[in-house]
Copies of this chain bind each other. A is one copy, B any other.
Amino acid sequence: MTDLAPLTGAAAERSDPAAPVEHMKWWGWGVPGVAFHHEDKPAFAPFVLKAVGLDLHAVRPLDQPDFGAIDVPASIAGGDLRAALADAVGAERVRDGDLDRVVHTYGKSIRDLIKVRAGRLPRVPDLVVYPADETAVQAVVDVVVAHDAVLIPFGGGSNIAGSLEPVPNETRPVVSLDMGLLDRVLDIDEGSGLARIQAGALGPALEAQLNARGWTIGHFPDSFTHSSLGGWIATRSSGMQSDKYGDIADITKGLHVARPGGLLELRPSPSASTGPSVKEMVLGSEGRLGVITEATVQVHRTPAKRVIHAYFFPNWRAGSRAMRQIAESDVHPAVTRVSDGRETGFSLATSKESKGFSGLAQRGLFAFLKRRGWNLDEMCLSFIGYEGAPDHVAKQRRAVERIVKRNGGIGVGTGPGVLYDQKKFDTPYLRDFLLDRGTAGDVSETSVPWTGLDRMHDGVIAAAEAAYESIGRKGWIMSHLSHSYHSGACLYFTFAFVMGEDPEAEYDVVKHAIQQAFIDLGGVPSHHHGIGVEHAEWLPDVLSESGIGVLEGLFTATDPGRNLNPAKITAS
């Protein structure tokens, strides 16, 4: 993470040194001791001032929240349950400390951070358990059901859809099952390109174990550094290179799920016609069908060549049209991404003075584009990634660049792509930096058929702006196309506003307006973040009431006692 700075003092300390696995900050994203800073990015403060009216030179950042000032409800777990869980996982791996329980209360959405920093904790897990193997996970599931408690699986804790939080008025004991100790690549079938991996493995650990033997899973969501294989599966994650490697639903070939009464084992298969897909029921199930303990995933040899090229398009229409033309061509890049003019401005503003776009070359380029009649505020930055044998990469690039040219675009080489590659996981730190300064930032994403794409882009921005108007706050929204498919694409929106009197209510208005626009304009509530509680309201719009009935039937039949992360995805 080239663009982040180490912290010192209290902020650098590990949250809970005694915990069996390292957690993220209880009050924010990422590793304690790392934060975003902007001192070497001269265009950043002016950009923020213009976008949301926040003067970074005038605002005083909040102090790190004091955990001691927070009132944590006492655990209601009884002795029987504790003893049975201790039998299941070992006494030292059953924990009920306040910090441990608060870390497992929420994910890392902006709403989660606002609440946890304010000490708003209507329901905290009563116990946190850290099973060390699959047998222990299975034992926990059976203990929880036998004691009519509630089980919430916890991977890296990066969720932003409310999938990890207990039901506020839950009267039964709530157990958070932290999968962090199950982090190993168990086996690689090198002849088939299949790897068996424990579900608690976080992105970096998983990828390091694969890379050591020459393989990659090719799955790099924004949350990569702090999300787990099991979490990716439980939420139907997509990664930055999913155009080539597939979404996690494509990558997953076999599964183990600890379910009440015994392990669900789905034999790995390249493809099968074996009735309704149980695998596709577990995918996206957010804990409601049990705890994913292991997956067999397809893996690829690390490519001989991998490169990301940057292009500029004169405007959004040209950029999105080029992405569609690439998708319908014979070419299949690993990354197809284009930012709108707003996000392009943001990217330029977060560049360091000496690197990437900020150098003299850039100023020369921009002057040239201006002379060609480009409006630099509308200009759109695109990244296209190529992978494979060198001649394959060269061919793909030539084919893409014909399409870029046909749409008035221009290539600017690999420099920005290298920076993008290094910085791609840093955005949540920037989000926390802004939150420390009274500004709420968040993301929402959808997918839509190509014919509705531009209308979706413009409509969501209009809806957000109307929402800002209605709450009387100056706000910002920007977007990029992040994944391309044959029939459409994912649009990813980032939005921010300086918080007023009631940040949660203000956020609700904006978030609601964006999600409703997704639905009204032919999209889905989420392309890869999941449903949880945040997006459940819009699920009937895309599944119909009958579809919700099917989902609820599945949940009720497989978990009649509502012990498995209840009220996520659907209310019942």
Contact = CB atoms under 8 A, between A and B. Distances in A.
Given A192-B450, A485-B271, A486-B300, A276 B289 contact: yes
Given A262-B545, A547-B264, A558-B550, A271 B527 contact: yes
A246 B389 CA distance: 24
B276 A283 contact: yes
A444 to B, nearest CB: 12
A109 interface: no
Interface in A209-245: 235-238
Given A264-B544, A449-B192, A271 B526 contact: no
Interface residues of A, number: 95
A432 interface: no
A267 interface: yes
A191 interface: yes
A450 B268 CA distance: 12
Interface string A449-485: 1111000000000000000000000000000000101
B275 A539 contact: yes
Interface stretch (A343-351, A357-365, A487-495): A487-495
Contacts of A530: 273, 275
Given A300-B486, A487-B193, A557-B553, A524 B269 contact: yes
Contact of A265 (B249, B275, B547): B547
A324 B193 CA distance: 11
A280 interface: yes
Contacts of A324: 191
A11 B554 CA distance: 49
A179 interface: no
Interface string A279-299: 111111110110000000010
Given A274-B543, A546-B262, A389 B487 contact: no
Interface string A179-202: 000000000010111100000000
B273 A284 contact: yes
7 contacts: A189-B449, A193-B328, A237-B273, A267-B522, A274-B526, A275-B286, A277-B280
The 8 A-B residue pairs with the shortest CB-CB distance in the complex, in nearest-first order: A553-B557, A280-B280, A270-B488, A191-B451, A192-B449, A270-B485, A236-B273, A264-B546
Contact of A298 (B259, B262, B288, B486): B486
A158 B304 CA distance: 46
Contact of A275 (B269, B395, B527, B531): B531
Nearest to A284: B275
Nearest to A297: B487
A39 interface: no
A25 interface: no
Contact of A541 (B193, B267, B280, B546): B267
A259 B526 contact: no
Interface string A554-572: 1011100000000001100
Nearest to A395: B395
A525 interface: yes
Given A273-B237, A273-B526, A274-B542, A451 B192 contact: yes
Interface in A28-55: none
Contacts of A284: 273-277
A381 interface: no
A539 B274 contact: yes
Contacts of A286: 275
Nearest to A300: B486
A543 B330 contact: no
Nearest to A237: B273
